Amino acid sequence: MTSISVIKKDITSLTVDAIVNAANSGLQGGGGVDGAIHAGAGPGLINECAAIIEKNGLCATGSAVTTSAGDLPAKWIIHTVGPIWSEEGQERSSLLLSSCYKSALDAASNLRADSVAFSAISTGVYGFPKKLAAPIAVSAVCSWLEAHQRAEAPRSIFLVCFDEENFRITKAVVDRLGPNNTP
């Protein structure tokens, strides 16, 4: 059975199989969590990302690709491109955000990752309202888990919040799942 936990930490410090990066379409690193992940992983990450872009072109919003984690304590980084709230509108942004979580879990399943840590995708500079993003994230994770065999699913999923506001909002949504925080 998969457990879902909400934690307030720096995602780059976690020893998990995979961390999920809120990336830009060019996988170039940037500000916020994306910049922190690139800085922590070291210079090899930008080369891996450049090779993916050279081979496949820019990453579509809602999609996910994987790289090694470089110098980070995780094994892999799953990069997913979240929607920019001001460009997509609420309905399309919501669908794309859900796709980010599901695509990342597909990638984690392909890697056979036992533990996955998600950043709060699109809630930083991409402007997705935190109160809307948290229920979408939790719902997407739960629906993915319900649709996949237990053998394909990670045993532990962490929703990692860097700030107190995201932590409180996300924890309240997950706490509604019940005492074991499992779907």
pLDDT at 178: 61
Q: Quick one: pLDDT at residue 181?
A: 55
Sequence-distant (≥ 6) Cβ neighbours of residue 43 within 8 angstroms: none
> Which CATH number describes the domain made up of 3-175?
3.40.220.10
What pLDDT does residue 8 have? 96
Distances in Å between the alpha carbon of 57 and those of 51, 102, 146?
Answer: 9, 21, 32
Which pLDDT belongs to residue 148? 86
Beta partners for 76? 18, 68
Residue 95: what pLDDT?
A: 97
The pLDDT averaged over each successive group of 10 residues in the chain (183 residues) is: 92 97 92 92 95 96 98 98 92 96 97 96 93 96 88 90 94 80 54
CA distance 106 to 64: 9
pTM of the model: 0.94
* Rounded Cα–Cα distance for residues 105 and 64 (Å): 9
Tokens of 92: 């399309």
Q: Where along the chain do its domains lie?
A: 3-175
Q: Which active-site residues does the annotation give?
A: 34
